[in-house]
Amino acid sequence: MDAMRSERFPLRRREVAKALLAERGEMLVVAGLGSTAWDVTAAGDHPLSFPLWGAMGGAVVIGLGLALAQPARRVLVLTGDGDMLMGLGSLATVAVQRPANLAIVVFDNERYGETGMQPTHTAHGVDLAAMARAAGIAVAGTVQDQTELEAALPAIRAAPGPLFYAIKVRAEPLPFALPPKDGAFLKDRFRAALLGA
């Protein structure tokens, strides 16, 4: 088996990211460190995207704070299985707050993509959607293929949240698509676009 790639899952992360962000409108996006930050950037760098270069385990709670501050805006957290596993408690924190405008999407390739494609816990059967549901996030599911993705997309964009989807994606080496690296710039750009200040 080639540790760097697996075609077990048909969906490809860059295409899924493009589909998720194609009609983003006024959506606010937080992208977890590593591959999902590159995926969001490959779909088109945007001032209302906040891609992380660190803070592992923090993507979901950053999205939660943003969703509570901006209840009229859709907030999408797009992160990987490694980041999600490091912040599992945040699913419980989200469930207690019940932000109707928050969607959490995990691109689950069952790998730590930035460190040599080592298997994550999901490769051994840990079920992130079941954990989200058990935490109290009522709408939680796993997407395995294009048909299921098309069924989930409208919910991710607009259904009352909080909601959680683990999207199983192919493990594959991809070219980097790097967002700006200066966090203060990313933050100020985001606030200027959202708040005008």
Partner 1 sequence: MSGWPDAIFEELRELEVRQVAYVPDAGHARLITLCAGDSRMRSVPLTTEEEGVGLLAGAWLGGERGVLLMQSSGVGNCVNMLSLTQACRFPLLMLITMRGEWGEFNPWQLHMGQRTGRTLELCGAIVHRLDDAARAGDTVRAAGVMAFEGQMPVAVLIAQALIGAKAFGR
Find the shortest distance in angstroms from Cβ 49 to partner 1. Answer: 11
Identity of the residue, 83 or 110, whose beta carbon is nearer to partner 1 in the bound complex: 83
Nearest to 83 by CA among 129, 20, 46, 36: 36
Q: What is the bridge-based pairing of β-strands 49-51 and 28-31? A: parallel
Q: Which residues contact 179 (CB under 8 A, 6 or more apart)?
A: 31, 37, 38, 40, 41, 45, 49, 51, 186
- Give the nearest distance from C-beta 149 to partner 1 in angstroms: 26
**64 and 111 in contact (C-beta within 8 Å)?**
no
**Taking the complex as a whole, how short is the minimal distance between the CB of residue 70 and partner 1, in angstroms?**
4
The span from the CA of 27 to the CA of 185, in Å, is: 20
Task: Give 1 or 96: the residue with its C-beta nearer to partner 1.
Answer: 96
HSE (side-chain half, CA atoms, 13 Å) at 133: 10
What's the closest the beta carbon of residue 146 comes to partner 1, in angstroms?
Answer: 31
**Would you say 5 or 24 has its CB closer to partner 1?**
24
By beta-carbon proximity to partner 1, the closer residue of 86 and 155 is 86
Tell me how far apart the alpha carbons of residues 94 and 27 are, in angstroms, rounded to a whole number.
Answer: 19
Give the list of residues 6+ apart from residue 18 with CB closer than 8 angstroms, or none.
42, 43
User: Which residue number, 168 or 189, has a Cβ lying nearer to partner 1?
Assistant: 189
In terms of CB distance, is 6 or 99 closer to partner 1?
99
CB 67 within 8 Å of CB 101: yes
CB 50, min distance to partner 1, A: 6
Least Å distance, CB 177 to partner 1, is 20
Residues in touch with partner 1 (CB under 8 A): 28, 30, 50, 53-70, 87, 89-90, 92-93, 96-97, 183-184, 186-187, 190-191, 194-195, 197
